[in-house]
Amino acid sequence: MARADFPIPVRALIDELKRLPGIGPRSAERMAVWLLQNRKAEPKVLAEALVKADEEIIACPACGFFATRESCGICDDPKRDDSILCVVEQATDVIPLERSGAFKGRYHCLGGKLSPLDRVSPEDLNIPSLMRRVENGGGMEIILALGADVEGEATSNYLADMMRGKPVKLTRIAQGLPAGGGLEHADELTLIRALQGRRDF
């Protein structure tokens, strides 16, 4: 007697779900069972959403954000300020910045950050397209909004070197105490950066 297991199509679905980030074997099993047993589940609708997104979504050739073949929600918005360009690591970094409502300019997504350990070198990032925008920008402000970790810092420094002597005003986002965070929870480096970045009151 073989130990009974899910039939092959269920097992195949579990295996595919298990590959998703943050999904372990038990969650994958739970999701598959829900998809096949729950009346409210619509596995075909999910399947169609996957195929449609996979077929229609590209990285915008200009800024790197998620775009359709027809348009990029950022590059095609005539109301955005062309004189400020915010450089971020990932296309997904655009979403929290947009939600903050604090930025009304254009974006440039590098597609990662320099990391010798992960074998990410300058050629792997969208740096040539950034430099073209810089050259044609006519004195625009470039805000480096990369992470405050070692790789983010290294990438910021690399870009700053590249832009030396170019017709741009280069700035970077502030590092310091996170909103709502007390000094007792801040690590030393955060406090050093917060002190270094102090401003007139």
**The one-letter amino acid at 36:** L
Pairing mode of beta strands 57-59, 169-172:
unpaired
Name 173's Cβ contacts closer than 8 Å, sequence gap at least 6. 143, 144, 145
Q: How far is the CB of 113 from a second copy (least distance, A)?
A: 15
Least separation, in Å, of the C-beta of 27 and a second copy? 6
- Please state the separation of Cα 127 from the chain's center in Å: 16
Shortest gap between Cβ of 147 and a second copy (angstroms)? 16
Element (H, E) at 81: strand 81-88
Least distance to a second copy, CB of residue 110, Å = 13
Distance of CA 12 to the CA centre of its chain: 30
- Shortest CB 119 distance to a second copy, Å: 14
User: For a second copy, which is the closer residue by CB, 56 or 135?
Assistant: 56
Site residues for a second copy per CB under 8 A? 1-7, 9-10, 12-13, 15-17, 19-23, 27, 29-37, 40-54, 56-57, 65-68, 73-74, 77, 79-80, 91-92, 94-95, 98-99, 101, 104, 107
Nearer to a second copy, 37 or 196 (CB): 37
CA dist., res. 184 & res. 97, Å (int): 27
Q: Which is nearer to a second copy, 9 or 167 (CB)?
A: 9
Question: Toward a second copy, which CB reaches closer, 31 or 170?
Answer: 31
CA dihedral for 178, 180, 181, 183, sign (positive or negative): positive
Considering beta carbons, is residue 78 or 182 the nearer one to a second copy?
A: 78
Helix (H, G, I), strand (E, B) or coil at 109: strand
